[in-house]
Amino acid sequence: MASSSSSSSTQVKKITLKAADGKHFEVEEPVAMEMETVKSFFVGNEDAMKDMVVPLLNVSSEHMPAILDFYRNHSEFRKRTPPPPAEEVKAFNEAFLENKSDEQLMEMIMAANFLNTKELLNFLTEAAANRIKNKSVEYVRAFFGIENDFTPEEEARIRAENEWAFDGLDED
Amino acid sequence: MVLNGDNAGNIWSFSGLDKESEDWNWEVIDKTELGESPKVAAHQIVGELPDDPFGMEIKSTFTAITGWFQEFDKDIGSDLCGSGMGQSEENIGDRSSLSGFNLVWNSSARFQQEKGILKIDEISIPYGSFNECGFGNGLYDGGDVDPYDFCEETEELYDFCDEYEEVYGESGEGGAAHDALSFALGYLGVKDLLVVERVCRSLRDTVRSDPLLWRSIHIDHPLNENITDESLVKLTDRAHGTLQCLSLVNCSRITNTCLNRTLERNPRLMKLRVPGCLKLSIEGILSNLRDFKSVGTPGIKLLRVGDRKGVTDKQFEELKYLLGADDYTQLRSREPLFYGWDNFALSFDNDRAIDIESCPKCQKIGIVYDCPTESCQAKPLGSHLCRACKLCIERCVRCGRCFNDSDYEETFCLDSICLDCLRHLLISEEEPGDSSSTHTVICQATRYEFRFYG
């Protein structure tokens, strides 16, 4: 999918996106228009579409193929009549998440937020939420790479306040 | 984008969109559009703020954001998010004002993108600038807002809060991880929110100061065993009076006094679910609902009390009246309800106003189940031979079918189970992994329910 520096491509139905690290991606117009951020570049400015390279400075080229894949598949799901069975969508979504590390998931959430696509963002944030459900505080800290900045007193207080709730969490 | 409502927010949005293709000048918009809007005071305060505190050449966006914020909350103090969100809560019932909110935000992002386009080939665009642009776009258009589905708005407001922190450099450490996490918070339940609260200071403040996260509170196993009146009041107070849905499953320590306090402080509560809350008597619930309705609130619309012994016809009639559901047809034209592990505590998915009704066979008030078997469903409408409470017709605890023409086994918990389901469970138990653990969970649930209802 990645085509090196082919910004001169002027095919009518393709839009060139530039990822954060400068790599170019040629994308079919309908797929690119799934991203509100890209779409807004062209609203009222259709002439620009021919030569425009759209810079997506918050999306690394590492995640770009997967994200585009998501758009392609989901827009295809939406168009299909009758609608695809729920299992098929679910299988795709699970496969999409299967090999993603926690860190990659975080980065993709930020990318989806930047691209302003509700569907992808909702999907990814729900996935992130599922990964921290029923986990311990330490696990969530490690998951997001967050440091504990409470003083021991603060931590003791907050623990005491919510003590009633903390039974039966997975210790992992 | 669908534009609706006619508040100041929309005026701004239109101005942003209309001027998009021109080489526009914010000062002009400032004078013309803001001058026409009733919020002149906001304009004055805007003038006193620095134009571009971070040297990012985002004067227009900054003006739009701050101008709007002034309108939203004139006292930008140290507690930016908290107070801002508090204000927004007051408007939450107002569809048009929320739409305006989204649109303002969208438009401010558009301005920035426009600048981005203009400068693409000239200078490099600061990373942060684009970052904000992405944030600002929001998750959906204002036109989509469903007044009954506030979960999505939670996220929208969330982004907003975070974005604000980012623009003004308040959050400090953490960065992307916090932002990503804060998007996910909307999907977490009470227990997980309480965990996230203990992770670090900024998340604690986010979780505690955002009433939208607490608008719907669901307490189930394992929290239900320990939750007390005091803890529940503390939790519901986090919604700052905007609680809409309260679900307490088998919370055996919660008393009528607590329910009364919760209702007093949360006039917008519409869904109440208290199956298995043994200390909440039906008479206590009734008197609470009476009080609640008498103070002029919209009142509870959906009530789930679970199977209770000794509910009288009179109490049932009054409950229906208080819910505004005394229309008989409304109760009848509902989805079928099947007996089973999942339905001991009827959820709000089912659209009926109240979960109990008069059993066609014994006339007692309780949960009345339908039969999933085709032969029973095929019977002519109105005969309802296979519709009754769980005492009148014995049913399979897994699929909910009756045993008229089939054999069944009795489980260790004295539940009955049809042979098909038993076979299914035995097969899944032999398989390693997830399915067997599901079975264990189901068995636990059975025992658990049995303790309360049996």
Same domain, A31 and A54: yes
Q: For residues A148 and A127, state if they share a domain.
A: no
Predicted confidence (pLDDT) at residue B445 exceeds the cutoff of 50 = no
Please check whether residue B193 lies inside any domain of the structure.
yes
Element of type H or E holding B397: none
Structural domain contains residue A4 = no
**A125/A149 same-domain check:** no
* Local confidence band at B68 (pLDDT 50, 70, 90 cut-offs): low
Would B306 be classed as within a structural domain?
no
Tell whether A139 and A105 lie within a shared domain: no
Enumerate residues 6+ apart whose C-beta is below 8 A from B169. B54
Do B203 and B337 belong together in one domain? no
Residue A77 maps to a domain: yes
Domains in chain B, number: 2
Helices (H), B266-326: 282-294, 313-323
Q: Is residue B242 part of a domain?
A: no
In a domain, B80, yes or no: yes
B444 touches chain A (CB under 8 A): no
Q: Which of A118, A149, A158 sits opposite B139 (nearest CB)?
A: A118
Domain count, chain A: 2
| Whether residue A144 is found in the same domain as residue A71 | no
**Same domain, yes or no: A120 and A170:** no
The answer to whether position A3 is within a domain reads no
A79 and chain B: CB distance < 8 Å anywhere?
Answer: no
Chain B interface, mutation test: which of A123, A164, A170, most B Cβ atoms within 10 Å? A164
Task: Identify the residue with better confidence: A6 or B301.
Answer: B301
* Closest residue to B21, CB basis, from A44, A109, A116: A44
| Max Cα–Cα distance, chain B, nearest Å | 82
CA B143 to chain centre: 19
Please say if the pLDDT value at position B122 is more than 60: no
Domain termination site, one of B176, B210, B244: B210
- State whether B195 and A135 contact (CB < 8 Å): yes
- Domain membership of residue B238 (yes or no) is no
pLDDT, greater one: A88 or B24: A88
In a domain, A166, yes or no: yes
Min distance B21 CA to chain A CA atoms (Å): 7
- B374 occurs within a structural domain: yes
Residue A165 to residue B190, Cβ atoms within 8 A: yes
Please name the residues between 34 and 73 in chain A that touch chain B, using a CB distance below 8 Å.
Answer: 36-37, 40-41, 43-45, 48, 55, 57-58
For residue A57, the surrounding DSSP H or E stretch is none
Question: Mean pLDDT, to the nearest integer, of B81-109?
Answer: 41
Report the distance separating Cα B249 and Cα B243, nearest Å: 17
Best probe of the B interface among A15, A38, A53, A116, by most B CBs < 10 A, is A116
Task: Judge if A37 and A106 occupy the same domain.
Answer: yes
Chain A residues in contact with B194 by the CB 8 A cut-off are 162, 165-166
Q: Which residue of B has its CA nearest to A142?
A: B199
Asked, for residue B410, whether it belongs to a domain, the answer is yes
| Same domain for A138 and A128 | no
Task: Nearest chain B residue to A102 by CA: give it.
Answer: B177
Residue at A8 is within a domain:
no
**B210, B228, B262 — which closes off a domain?**
B210
A55 and A30 in one domain? yes
Amino acid B381: pLDDT: 55
- The answer, for A135 touching chain B at a CB cutoff of 8 Å, is yes
* Domain boundary pick from B210, B237, B272: B210
Note the pLDDT of residue B430. 67
In this prediction, residue B439 has a pLDDT band, given cuts at 50, 70 and 90, of very low
- Tokens read off for B7: 């508040």
Q: Do A86 and A20 share a structural domain?
A: yes
Which of A74-83, B34-43, B325-334 is least confident?
A: B34-43
Q: Which percentage of chain B shows pLDDT scores above 90?
A: 3
Q: Is the same domain home to A145 and A163?
A: yes
A167 touches chain B (CB under 8 A): yes
Q: Which of B313, B249, B242, B241 shows the shortest CA–CA distance to B282?
A: B313
> Rounded CA gap, A109 and B295, in Å?
44
- Within a domain: B401: yes
How many Å apart are CA B72 and CA B84, to the nearest integer? 7
For chains A and B, CB pairs below 8 A equal 154
| B198-219 per-position pLDDT tens digit | 888 888 888 888 888 899 999 8
Question: CA B233, CA B223: separation in Å to the nearest integer?
Answer: 14
pLDDT, greater one: A134 or B350: A134
Question: What strand order describes the sheet that includes B245-248?
Answer: B216-219, B245-248, B271-273, B302-304
Residue A1 counted as domain residue: no
Amino acid (one-letter) located at B76: I
State chain B's mean pLDDT as an integer.
65
CB interface of B with A, residues 217-276, below 8 Å:
222-223, 225-228, 231, 234
Radius of gyration in angstroms for the set of CA atoms belonging to chain B, rounded to a whole number: 27
Domain contains A125: yes
Is residue B251 predicted with pLDDT exceeding 60?
yes
- Residues A45, A98, single domain; the answer is yes
* pLDDT at residue B246, rounded to an integer: 92
Q: What is the mean pLDDT of residues B110-123?
A: 40
Q: Is A149 close to B135, i.e. CB distance below 8 A?
A: no
Peptide bond into B360 cis (omega under 30): no
The parts of chain A modelled with pLDDT lower than 70 are 1-13, 44-51, 167-172
Query: Which whole number is the average pLDDT over B137-161?
Result: 40
Span of B7-11, B247-251, B264-268 with lowest mean pLDDT: B7-11
**Structural domain of residue A28, as residue ranges?**
14-132
Considering only residues 97 to 116 of chain A, which have any Cβ-Cβ distance to chain B shorter than 8 Å? 105-107, 109-110, 113-116
Q: Whole domain around residue B93: which residue ranges?
A: 8-210
Q: Is residue A63 part of a domain?
A: yes
The distance of B221 to chain A (nearest Cα, Å) reads 10
A55 and B120 in contact by Cβ < 8 A? yes
Q: Looking at residue A168, which CATH number applies to its domain? A: 3.30.710.10
Residue of chain A whose alpha carbon sits nearest to that of B117: A41
Q: Which residue is listed with tokens 């969508």?
A: A89
User: Least CA distance to A149: which residue of chain B?
Assistant: B200
Same domain, B205 and B58: yes
Minimal C-alpha gap between B43 and chain A (Å) = 28
pLDDT at B23: 43
